[in-house]
Amino acid sequence: MNPGFLQTPIAYLKGVGPNRAETLQSELGIHVYQDLLNLFPNRYIDKTKYHKINELQKSNADVQVIGKIVHLKTVAQKRGSRLVAKFVDDTGEMELVWFRSQKWIRENLKLNIPYVVFGRTNWYSGMFSMPHPEMELLTEHEKNLKVGMQPVYPSTEKLGNKGITNRVIGKLMQQLFLETKGKFQETLSDKLSYELKLLPKNESLFNIHFPKNQELLAKARFRLKFEELFYIQLQLIAKNMLHKQKIKGFNFDQVGTLFNAFYANHLPFELTGAQKRVIKEIRADLGSNAQMNRLLQGDVGSGKTIVAVMTMLLAMDNSFQACLMAPTEILANQHYQGISKLLEGTGVSCKLLTGSVKKSARKPIHEQLEDGTLHILIGTHALLEDKVKFKNLGLAIIDEQHRFGVAQRSKLWHKNDYPPHILVMTATPIPRTLAMSLYGDLDISVIDELPPGRKPIKTVHRYDGNRLKVFGFIRDEIKKGRQIYIVYPLIQESEALDYKDLMDGYESIARDFPQPEFQISIVHGKMKPPDKDYEMERFVSGKTQIMVATTVIEVGVNVPNASVMIIESAERFGLSQLHQLRGRVGRGADQSFCILMTSHKLSNEAKTRLETMVRTNDGFEIAEVDLKLRGPGDIMGTQQSGILNLKIADIVKDNEILKSARYYAMQLLKDDPSLEKPENLAMRHAYAQLIKYKNIWNYIS
Ligand code: ADP
Ligand code: MG
């Protein structure tokens, strides 16, 4: 089959036409034959099984039952009526129910003659009923060809309204196989197919749409999932390799006096093994002649800042400037404070640029950046303004990557004649599975070890009714000299209500913790940045003991003396957010606590989230649970990624297949980077097709 044939517009397929084509396009994204071929069933109905009525389960499954109608009646109801048949087999009875076409059915149904009925059962006041069953006389049924597994395709309301039912899709699929004779180009090499015992492409496509039996269906699914993940990985890895060849980077080949002097004289603590390893990985990138594009993952408190600082020193050692961009003013500020302190006595100059830096203060910053006397610039989005021009930007570090879009990343990139090395730091633990698929084109370093001496945070779940006890606990901790966070949810849709909750909470806390013995800070989104900073500063410097806040403090804020994190309405937070919030404590030497306050009304999912938080402090474990609960679509930063458009593979469930696909893609490209070898011809063609017709890069980055 000429592969171009599959690019025929779907309107040309017999049985489609312009009207249906439009609906197929808008509802299912089917533009050409190929798209229909790749519309894979969501599930299959097993029609090889016949159920006895007394075996039926209350779980609303699709079932097939043989029996007779012994009685037929019309029952009046609020609006109109329903037709009810009493249907029996030798084990029991159930009801068949119709709301539409009652007249026709009444006239055509035969009593006391065996039928095969098929449909979804409901358990309703002590009896199973099946609304609008598919029905066939047993004698007819036995004559017909048996369809073992009937595919159920994705559907939408509009498709239904336009008469494009599952049956119609099935028919179109048959037509497609007829027109193509079921012959499709093989897309994987013989070697790979042999090694992995994969079903050939033709058989896979046939069995996914018209499964002969369970076993072949399973094989078809495996093969198609593998193929899908394999080609995504192939493209990501190829892109990464290409990037390394083409995009030359500044070569930081000097490990010079600044880095070494800092290591010898200014390091405030011994680096952890993981920090050392990650710095080595970064150094290898910087000296490789290619532009670095690295994601640095490390749980909250794992010590990413020092890695950032040492990377910046490498830039200085090679006579380049560096910048660090943070998502909020508070964070940029903290970074600035912390990093300036680390750099004391090194001779490196460092300044802060955020939206609230005054015009008069900006001018010297701009000038010193341009003449190169300013080495490091830390700030927010303000760094992206056109006025900000570096003399020689060699390194851009982006903290908390998920707050920045790709467009912003590339804007930084264009600040200079050559792209700076890029280090993206994130505390959002992205499960490896997902990271592999989403950021296959970035290199990844992981700090998977916390600095020594940290005591794991104790986490408990308390109901609102126990508030007095919790307040008592807070009082004791404050007496010991500790500080407390109390966090309220803030969700856009209910902003006004949330704000009220926060204020009510604040008032009741202020009553229980009166001045002058207790001092309370409050920070929320409605405050002006300078007011926020003022309140933050009071808390950071220990002037206040309690910080009441919305989630603005979620990211990065570092107050080692704070040892208690109380999260109000914790059931309303997502797992990754809860974990981020908890990471605000446990930064000092003292035992820290996280108290999750909730009402008694909890969904199962909320319960799982709370239990997970209480059970573990491990960000990656939490991220895995999160991924399982919500699927990849809701994990931050994945919205625009192609991974959501997977046709058959499931990023969570097919983790093992993904790993294997990545492994084989890597092997292939190592062995034959441009897929020139004759044995890889099939894959070269498939790859070229993919690039030609569906450029995955467009939707991955
Ligand atoms: P994050 O990865 O969340 O940005 P930070 O870089 O803010 O973490 O580090 C958290 C805290 O741990 C800081 O107070 C920092 O000084 C401290 N820290 C970092 N690395 C080490 C280490 N190797 N030994 C001891 N303390 C460390
Ligand atoms: Mg940090």
For residue 444, report the distance from its CA to the centre of ligand 2, in Å.
Answer: 17
Which residue out of 262, 269, 563 has the highest number of ligand 1 atoms within 8 Å of its CB and is therefore the one to mutate? 269
- Domain 458-616, CATH: 3.40.50.300
Q: CA of 380: how far to CAs of 333, 385, 400, in Å?
A: 9, 10, 12
Average pLDDT over residues 668-683: 92
pLDDT above 60 for 623: yes
Q: Residue 701: what pLDDT?
A: 31
- Compute the distance between CA of residue 496 and CA of residue 492 in angstroms, rounded to an integer: 9
DSSP 131-198: ES-EEEEHHHHHHSPP--EEEE----HHHHHTT--HHHHHHHHHHHHHHHTT-----S-HHHHHHTTP
Instruction: Identify the band that residue 129 occupies on the pLDDT scale cut at 50, 70 and 90.
Output: very high
- The per-residue pLDDT of the chain, averaged, comes to 86
Among the residue ranges 125-129, 250-254, 302-306, 627-631, the one predicted with the least confidence is 627-631
- Indicate the range of 38-52, 140-154, 373-387, 683-697 predicted with least confidence: 683-697
Mean pLDDT of 396-413: 63
Query: Of ligand 1's atoms, which has the minimum distance to the CA of residue 271?
Result: 23
Nearest atom within ligand 1 for CA of residue 270: 23
Closest Cα to atom 5, ligand 1: which residue? 303
Q: Which range among 245-249, 304-308, 365-369, 575-579 shows the weakest confidence by mean pLDDT?
A: 245-249
Label residue 408 by pLDDT band (50, 70, 90): low
Q: Which of 271, 297, 302 to mutate to test ligand 1, by most ligand atoms within 8 A of the CB atom?
A: 302
Ligand number with the minimum distance to the CA of 267: 1
Domain coordinates of the chain in residue numbers? 3-45+156-183, 49-144, 458-616
Which of 115-129, 367-381, 448-462, 636-650 is least confident? Answer: 636-650
The pTM score is: 0.64
Q: Per CATH, the architecture of 49-144 is what?
A: Beta Barrel (2.40)
Same fold, 49-144 and 458-616: no
Residues around ion ligand 2, judged by CB within 5 A, are 556
Long-range contact pairs involving 1-6 (C-beta distance under 8 Å, separation at least 24): 1/180, 1/181, 1/183, 1/184, 1/185, 3/185, 3/685, 3/689, 5/33, 5/180, 6/32, 6/33, 6/34, 6/37, 6/180, 6/184
What is the number of the ligand 1 atom nearest to the C-alpha of 308?
6
Q: Which helix (H) or strand (E) holds 472?
A: helix 467-479
Q: In what order do the strands lie in the sheet with 458-463?
A: 458-463, 593-598, 562-567, 483-487, 546-549, 520-523
Phi/psi-derived region of residue 181, left when phi > 0, alpha when psi is between -120 and 50, beta in every other case:
left
Looking from the CA of residue 302, the nearest atom of ligand 1 is 2
